[in-house]
Amino acid sequence: MRPDSAGPPIISRPGQEKGNHLKFPLQKRMYVIPAGCLAFILFFTVFGDKGLLRIFELKHDKDKIEARLAENKVENEKLKYEIVALKSDRRYLESIARKDFGLVRSNEVIYQFPTDKK
């Protein structure tokens, strides 16, 4: 017998070399650790305080506020026109008094007709 063949023979699998049994878990870790980091980053990118869902929600709120602002600007212009009309136009003032308060002039007669129910 030769001195280098002492002990039981070493059976090796095809593709497996001496010392390769420690490399496989290291290769696994090389994929698992970056994948875990990537999953962590993606989670906070979508669901975090400043994530995509929060940005979408804030954009939706901003659009609603801008629409309400446009409506308020239109209403504000109408009210400005009404203020000017109430200050300067006597006929408009009279029509508001007649319509809203039921006022009449001293020489006017009001006729009220019953509504027909059919």
pLDDT of residue 59: 96
pLDDT (tens digit, 0 to 9) for every residue of the chain, 118 residues total? Answer: 455 556 565 555 555 555 555 555 777 778 888 888 999 888 888 888 888 899 999 999 999 999 999 999 999 999 999 999 999 999 999 899 888 988 888 888 888 888 887 6
Q: Is there a contact between 61 and 54 (Cβ–Cβ < 8 Å)?
A: no
pLDDT of residue 77: 98
pLDDT of residue 70: 98
Could you tell me the residue range of the domain that residue 28 belongs to? 22-101
In a domain, 58, yes or no: yes
In a domain, 12, yes or no: no
pLDDT of residue 50: 84
Query: What's the total number of domains in the chain?
Result: 1
How many angstroms separate the Cα of 54 from the Cα of each of 19, 34, 90, 91?
A: 50, 26, 54, 54
In a domain, 113, yes or no: no
In a domain, 118, yes or no: no
In a domain, 14, yes or no: no
Q: Which residue has the tokens 């008094």?
A: 97
pLDDT of residue 43: 87
pLDDT of residue 116: 82
In a domain, 116, yes or no: no
In a domain, 9, yes or no: no
pLDDT of residue 45: 84
In a domain, 50, yes or no: yes
